[in-house]
């Protein structure tokens, strides 16, 4: 079966942010997530901010650590998101996935959204910033507008979803992002990616990262 595929397991795993963001997540589960991420060569682990310091001490420099800011609703004040980001980086995070204010988008206050992303990127400095726009709550027009906002703000990625709302990543949204993001902005598909075939298709449509808890599990089951 692998011979018929365009992407190997290793290719796909290298694009996975191995994720555990459940409210009930414990340190033992996060530690197991880190062990699997190191073993299978994922791009990072994506974990709650409260575990970043422990995870950094545990994995050292063996694995990139990603965490979430303003998660999952995005309606914290920008100053709060900036503080969360500083603390996460201080604790050892390598990458930041922030949630925008969907209400500001619905109001058409794109300047506020742009400024918030710029502010968080300034805090991130050279660290990767991914901007979660929660596509399931947006119109196509809003998604296209946000592609420009994320590009103009200097963020590194536009990300589809938190996985905590009414829907996750879709092929249509990733294709739309690929058509409209500016140079240098990459795409992260997240939420509901449950098969290797789906993972391959998201990559082929333009996703550079996949936020998922299931791909590593699938590879482990095949072993």
Residue that the structure tokens 């905590």 belong to: 164
Cα–Cα distance measured from residue 101 to residue 108, given in angstroms and rounded to the nearest whole number: 11
Instruction: Compute CA 117 distance to the chain's CA centroid, rounded to the nearest angstrom.
Output: 15
> Which one is catalytic: 97, 156, 173, 198?
97
> Which one is catalytic: 159, 173, 186, 198?
159
DSSP assignment, residue 164? S
97 counts as catalytic: yes
Cα–Cα distance measured from residue 38 to residue 53, given in angstroms and rounded to the nearest whole number: 17
Given a contact cutoff of 8 angstroms between Cβ atoms, the answer to whether 12 and 199 are in contact is: yes
Among residues 3, 47, 52, 55, the alpha carbon closest in space to that of 22 is found at: 47
Cα–Cα distance measured from residue 167 to residue 67, given in angstroms and rounded to the nearest whole number: 20
The two structure tokens encoding residue 95: 């990458």
> Which one is catalytic: 143, 173, 188, 198?
188
Helix (H, G, I), strand (E, B) or coil at 17: strand
186 counts as catalytic: no
Among residues 220, 221, 160, the alpha carbon closest in space to that of 192 is found at: 160
106 counts as catalytic: no
Among residues 115, 164, 113, the alpha carbon closest in space to that of 137 is found at: 164
Largest CA distance in the chain: 50
Residues known to be catalytic:
97, 159, 188
């Amino acid at each position: 079966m692998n011979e018929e595929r365009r992407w190997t397991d290793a290719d796909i795993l290298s694009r996975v942010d191995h994720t555990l963001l459940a409210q009930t997540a414990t340190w033992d589960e996060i530690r197991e997530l880190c062990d699997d991420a190191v073993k299978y060569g994922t791009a990072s682990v994506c974990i709650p901010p409260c575990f970043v310091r422990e995870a950094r001490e545990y994995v050292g420099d063996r694995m990139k650590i990603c965490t979430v800011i303003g998660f999952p609703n995005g309606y914290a004040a920008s100053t709060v998101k900036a503080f969360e980001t500083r603390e996460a980086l201080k604790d050892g995070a390598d990458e930041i996935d922030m949630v925008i204010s969907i209400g500001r988008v619905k109001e058409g206050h794109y300047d506020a959204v742009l400024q918030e992303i710029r502010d968080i990127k300034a805090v991130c400095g050279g660290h990767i910033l991914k901007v979660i726009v929660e596509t399931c709550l947006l119109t196509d027009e809003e998604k296209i507008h946000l592609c420009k906002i994320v590009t103009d703000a200097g963020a590194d990625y536009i990300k589809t979803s938190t996985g905590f709302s009414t829907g996750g990543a879709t092929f249509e949204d990733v294709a739309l992002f690929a058509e409209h993001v500016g140079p240098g902005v990459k795409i992260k598909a997240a939420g509901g990616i449950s098969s290797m075939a789906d993972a391959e298709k998201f990559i082929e449509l333009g996703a550079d990262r996949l936020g998922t808890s299931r791909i590593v599990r699938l590879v482990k089951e095949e072993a």
